[in-house]
Amino acid sequence: MVYTDTRDKSVKTDFRTAVINGMNKDTGGLYIPVEFPKLASSFINKTPEPGFREIAFEMAKPYVEGEISDSDLMAIIQDAYPFSAPVVPVDKTSYMLELFHGPTCAFKDFGARFMARVMSYFNRNESSTLHILVATSGDTGSAVGSAFHNVPGLDVTILYPEGKVSKLQEKQLSTFDGNVRALKIKGTFDDCQKLVKTAFTDEALRSKLRLSSANSINISRLLPQSFYYMYSSLVVRSRAWGDSKIENPAIIAVVPSGNFGNLTSGLIAREMGAPITGFVAATNSNRTIPDWIATGKYEPRPSVETYANAMDVGAPSNYERIAAMYSLDEVKSLFASYWLDNDGIINSIKNCYERTGYTVDPHGAVGWKAWSDIKNGMMEKLVAGEKNDFTKPGLTPNIPKWANKVISKEALGIILETAHPAKFSSTVQSAIGISPTIPDRLEKVLSLPDKAIPMENDYNKFKEWLLANLK
């Protein structure tokens, strides 16, 4: 497979280079495959549907062809995924895709564990350490830290915004040792991301340290997240008639999004043949992408703090990939977009619990409310001519191509539940009056000592720290 650059289509490189470099240091662009090969229809239409690891292998194979053997790729997948992604029906036309069954209880485990093993594979014959820099608004850092902890030849530095992640998330970030450490930055996630991106384009720094990324700017984290879109859409298609008596449903993936890497992974799955008709780009008050879809103008802005902190991103990196894959008209045809403020998030957690008995986290709550509103009349009103105000919470005034499938009750929604609700216990408890049970793998980190290193939001000081502490 050949990979190019979102900012310079003349760039042609291989998977190893794209993974190890993270982003193109010469242009600041993100790597993207020049094509998205379709899986064989005989595979996609197998009865019963293929399992998660089988899907992962078939989807990954064309992207690593000639660089990772089939046997090594299967070993990477089997080691990365001792867990799967259960699809849980919550009503006749809505399914929760539970992405929190990995070691850090967040969807980032799917990408980070694959990426760590691929990087280790490519770095196995190198004499120097590969230094991973990762900015996090909550869950990415802990997933990357867990995935890379004690992996030979790799070293990880996590940047997170001080005071802007949940207490449990911070414990997951600040308690690593050995080859993983965390810097708590006095600023926002966007500040953390800017520090990392600046480091990648700093020739003087890169002449002394081998650097790579572990955010969704790295293609090896983006591609594996496409696996669960294919898997869940095949599962839902298979069981649709039994659940809802809908034949050949329009499957809509409802994606809580911040940096929009997760949604981009869904687009990759659809390009490869996943039976997904469309997407809902669902976010919090950091509504850069919904505003772009509503107005046609992409205007990044400083992020604001919300209860769904993993989506507190004002300048989403993967806008570049979405814009490289599709025109704005194609995006509008494929996407509905929706956003909620903090009050809406609390009300959605409560509403989901009262209507279904399912406890959803603040990010999944945005997806739940988006799908609930869309299928219960909001899309129909939009099609009928009622113009929503995109500056207020709710559905943005854009009518996707699949709108009539919702109105005619031929659509099913897969809502991505991206993190375990226990990671946001106080928010969930304030909504439903019950504190979620904390999984053992989360509870054990609460007693570990904090080791995070304070850092000013100053690139020169950050660079000075890297040069003094990384070898």
Q: Where are the domains of the chain?
A: 220-437
Q: How many CB atoms neighbour CB 347 within 10 A?
A: 15
pLDDT for the residue numbered 283: 96
Per-residue confidence at 139, pLDDT binned at 50, 70, 90?
confident
C-alpha 370/C-alpha 365 separation (Å) is 8
pLDDT score, position 447: 86
CA angle 187, 305, 263 (to 5 degrees): 100
What is the per-residue pLDDT for 463? 96
- Tell me the C-alpha to C-alpha distance, in Å, between residue 71 and each of 68, 76, 78, 79: 8, 9, 11, 12
Give me the mean pLDDT over the 123-138 stretch: 86
- Percentage, residues of the chain above pLDDT 90: 78
pLDDT greater than 80 at residue 137: no
Sign of the Cα torsion 190, 191, 192, 195 reads positive
Q: Among all chains, which residue has been given the structure tokens 């280079």?
A: 17
Tens digit of each residue's pLDDT (9 = 90 or more) over 395-441: 999 999 999 999 999 999 999 999 999 999 999 999 999 999 999 98
H/E segment holding residue 89: strand 87-91
Average pLDDT value for residue range 376-403: 94
The two beta strands, 130-135 and 94-98, are unpaired
Single-letter amino acid, residue 41:
S
Q: Which two tokens stand for residue 47?
A: 């009865």
Q: pLDDT (tens digit, 9 = 90+) per residue, 331-373?
A: 999 999 999 999 999 999 999 999 999 999 999 999 999 999 9
* DSSP assignment string, 185-240: ESS-HHHHHHHHHHHHT-HHHHTTSEEEE-STTSHHHHHHHHHHHHHHHHHHHHHH
| Both structure tokens of 440 | 């053992």
Q: Domain spanning 220-437 has what CATH number?
A: 3.40.50.1100
Burial 238-261 (b: 16+ CB within 10 A, else e): eebeebbebeebbbbbbbbbbbbb
User: What is the reported pLDDT for 177?
Assistant: 87
Q: For residues 127 and 461, which has the higher predicted lDDT (pLDDT)?
A: 461
What is the average pLDDT across 186-196? 91
User: What pLDDT is recorded for position 454?
Assistant: 95
pLDDT digits 0-9 by tens, 209-238: 998 887 778 899 899 999 999 999 999 999
Which of helix, strand or coil describes residue 409?
Answer: coil
Q: Is the pLDDT of residue 138 over 90?
A: no
Q: From 133, 120, 111, select the one nearest 22 (Cα to Cα).
A: 133
Q: What is the three-class DSSP state of 466?
A: helix
Token pair of 411, please? 């659509």
**Mean pLDDT for the stretch of residues 126-149:** 86
Q: CA-to-CA distance for 57 and 407, rounded, in angstroms?
A: 37
Predicted confidence band of residue 77 (pLDDT cuts 50, 70, 90)? very high
Question: Which runs of consecutive H residues, i.e. helices, occur in 339-410?
Answer: 342-356, 362-373, 379-383, 403-407
Mean pLDDT across the chain, nearest whole number?
93
CB 111 within 8 A of CB 221: yes
User: What is the per-residue pLDDT for 158?
Assistant: 93
Q: Is the previous residue joined to 103 through a cis bond, with omega within 30 degrees of 0?
A: no
Stated as kind and residue range, the H or E segment containing 441 is: helix 440-443
pLDDT digits over 12-56, tens only? 999 999 998 888 888 989 999 999 999 999 999 999 999 999 999
Question: Distance between alpha carbon 317 and the CA centroid of its chain, in Å?
Answer: 12
Asked if residue 168 has pLDDT above 90, the reply is no
pLDDT at 123 over 90: no
Model pLDDT, residue 364: 97
Sign of CA dihedral 384, 389, 390, 395: negative
Euclidean distance between CA atoms 357 and 353, whole angstroms: 4
Quote the pTM value.
Answer: 0.90
Q: Report the pLDDT value the prediction gives residue 309, as an integer from 0 to 100.
A: 87
In Å, what is the CA distance from 137 to each residue of 262, 412, 468? Answer: 14, 30, 25
Cβ proximity of 414 and 95 under 8 Å: yes
